[in-house]
Amino acid sequence: MHKHHSALGLASSLKPVQPVTLLRPHAAARAARFFVEKFQGRSMYAVKANPSPDLIQILWENGITQFDVASIAEVRLVAGIAPDAKLCFMHPVKAEEAIAEAYFDYGVRTFSLDSLEELDKIVRATKGATDLTLCVRLRVSSEMSKLSLASKFGVELADAKELLLRTRQVADALGICFHVGSQAMSPSAYVQAMEKVRAAIVSAAVTVDVIDVGGGFPSVYPGMEPPALEAYFNAIHQAFESLPVSYSSELWCEPGRALCAEYASLLVRVERRRGDELYINDGAYGALFDAAHVGWRFPVQLLRDGEPRIRDTGFSFYGPTCDDMDRMAGPFVLPGDVNVGDYIEIGMLGAYGCAMRTGFNGFTAGERVIMTDEPMASLYIDDDTQRETVSHNVITL
Ligand SMILES: *Cc1c(COP(=O)(O)O)cnc(C)c1O
């Protein structure tokens, strides 16, 4: 893969016809090391956020040794790249065949569940294994998160007692897990969830060996600037310390977005301008699913030499397919004279961007290149350095 030092240089020398994915391995490595060093527990990567083999390799090499997988395909994928990684099958509703294959062929010992039916399924599929770590997924509020995960999975607190007691009888190690929703904008989301965990432990009076606070750690986007990740870690560490769990119990987390958002951005070309609408060559069926369907605003910058002579305008985007729904409302703020043939970098697409791409209507991913510059925004660069390195492209809002 070619290495490039700036998106502008890349756009002007290559003039790519298809969208180009810009990869920043150093940013993913930095995020991994941050979690490994500062989270006082085990950080496992939630593979669904971005299953690129190159990313999994980078995280593995930078100290992420545990992976949250949700399908048998993800189990096979990670096992193929990092055979020594510890895999945790954290989808609460699994196919019995998937559980069996994960257990017998891939050595997976950790599974999550949120119902007695799933517990029975795990026992059957593993032929009554006695070496399981079973994590009961508790339903918690998503009110402080941008994307809710509160309705589909998780046992209600009122029903948790029976499930915890029954799971305790089967499990070698018993865990409690939850997910506060993606892009949690306040550490108190975790504190509140931990209060529910406490109530569940107290009512069931069971010994708990693992507390898994799930994902939800934020990244930074226009209009969404979360507190520093340390504030999240501190709140979680404090809440964990005060839980009635055994002295040897472990603390786990499952970051997806926070480990990979900065890993990738996208270089797109404007194919048409109609008023404040730009027709670009990637969209809802490409890496911009969240921009289209949940109105996510990603940072953008026009790749053009020199200072813009005209003031900024808020644009919406149309993607390349012939579908009306292939529209990203934005607003995406760019110099007002942006036009056909211009290149735009759309940042922070490493999480739930690249992973969502389809080949609908014949529009597929173009080239992937490695960049050595910094991502358009970062939660891992301290303020002073950030100002120097990205001052030319800070998100203005
Ligand atoms: C999606 C998911 C994650 C990752 O969530 P982020 O918000 O990306 O950190 C972690 N755990 C489970 C069970 C998930 O479904």
Number of domains composing the chain: 2
Q: Which atom of ligand 1 is nearest to the CA of 216?
A: 7
> CA–CA separation, 138 vs 129, rounded Å?
23
Considering the domain architecture, whether residues 186 and 295 belong to the same structural domain is answered as no
- Of the candidates 140, 210, 179, 172, the one whose C-alpha atom is nearest the C-alpha of residue 46 is 179
Q: What is the mean pLDDT of the chain?
A: 93
Q: Quick one: 166 and 252 in the same domain? A: yes
Q: How far apart are CA 280 and CA 394, in angstroms?
A: 22
Under the banding of pLDDT at 50, 70 and 90, the label for residue 344 is very high
Same-domain check for residues 127 and 226: yes
Q: Ligand 1 centre from 152 Cα, in Å?
A: 13
**Percent of the chain at pLDDT exceeding 70:** 96
Question: Is the predicted pLDDT of residue 395 greater than 50, yes or no?
Answer: no
Residue 51 Cβ < 6 Å to ligand 1 = no
Across the range 25-38, mean pLDDT stands at: 98
pLDDT digits (tens, 9 = 90+) for 149-186: 778 899 999 999 999 999 999 999 999 999 999 999 99
* Cα 136–Cα 240–Cα 152 angle in degrees, nearest 5: 30
* pLDDT of the residue at 388: 44
- Same domain? 178 vs 231: yes
Higher pLDDT, 84 or 144: 84
We report the CATH number of the domain holding residue 290 as 2.40.37.10
Last residue of a domain, one of 239, 259, 279: 259
For 193-241, how does the pLDDT look when each residue is reduced to its tens digit (9 = 90+)? 999 999 999 999 999 999 999 999 999 999 999 999 999 999 999 999 9
What local confidence, expressed as pLDDT, does residue 144 receive? 83
Do 62 and 194 reside in the same domain of the chain?
Answer: yes
Which band of pLDDT confidence, cut at 50, 70 and 90, is reported for residue 385?
A: low
Q: What is the pLDDT of residue 360?
A: 93
Q: How confident is the model at residue 383 (pLDDT cuts 50, 70, 90)?
A: low
Same domain, 329 and 199: no
Does 127 share its domain with 242?
yes
Q: Residue 201: which domain range?
A: 26-259
CB of residue 50 inside a 6 A radius of ligand 1: no
Highest-confidence segment of 192-206, 306-320, 356-370: 192-206
Average of pLDDT values for 373-387? 79
Cα separation, 176 vs 112, in Å, equals 9
- 297 and 254 in a single domain? The answer is no
Domain boundary among 259, 284, 303: 259
323 vs 310, more confident: 323
pLDDT of 307 over the 80 cut? no
90 with 16, same domain: the answer is no
pLDDT digits (tens, 9 = 90+) for 273-292: 999 999 999 999 999 999 99
Whether the CB of 214 sits within 6 Å of ligand 1: yes
Whether 91 and 142 share a structural domain: yes
pLDDT of residue 394: 40
Choose the final residue of a domain: 259, 289, 316. 259
What is the structure's pLDDT at 364? 87
Residue 354 has pLDDT above 90, yes or no: no
Give me the helices (H) in the chain, please: 7-14, 25-38, 53-61, 72-81, 96-106, 116-125, 157-170, 188-204, 229-241, 257-260, 289-293, 383-390
pLDDT at 59: 98
Please state the separation of Cα 212 from the chain's center in Å.
16
CA proximity to 112, closest of 37, 207, 214, 42: 214
Write out the DSSP string of 248-304. T-EEEE--SHHHHGGGEEEEEEEEEEETTEEEES--TTTT-HHHHHS-----EEE--
Cα 162 to middle of ligand 1, angstroms: 26
Do 160 and 252 share a domain, yes or no? yes
DSSP three-state, residue 315: strand
* pLDDT on residue 117: 98
Confidence of residue 396 (pLDDT cuts 50, 70, 90): very low
* Averaged pLDDT for residues 358-375: 93
Residue nearest atom 3 of ligand 1, based on CA coordinates:
215
Over the stretch 33-60, which tens digit does the pLDDT of each residue have? 999 999 999 999 999 999 999 999 999 9
Q: Do 35 and 45 form a contact (C-beta atoms < 8 A)? A: no
Atom of ligand 1 nearest to the CA of 112: 13
- Which pLDDT score is estimated for 384? 53
Record the pTM: 0.94
Confidence at residue 1, expressed as pLDDT on a 0 to 100 scale: 66
Same-domain status, 10 and 97: no
pLDDT value for 397: 35
Q: Considering only 117-121, 173-177, 322-326, which range has the smallest mean pLDDT?
A: 322-326
pLDDT of residue 387: 42
Distance 149 CA to ligand 1 centre (A): 9
* Residue 123 tokens, joined: 């026992």
Domain harbouring 33, CATH code:
3.20.20.10
How many A from CA of 321 to the centre of ligand 1? 29
pLDDT digits (tens, 9 = 90+) for 262-271: 999 999 999 9
* Average pLDDT rounded to a whole number, residues 384-393: 45
**C-beta separation of 313 from 335 below 8 A:** yes
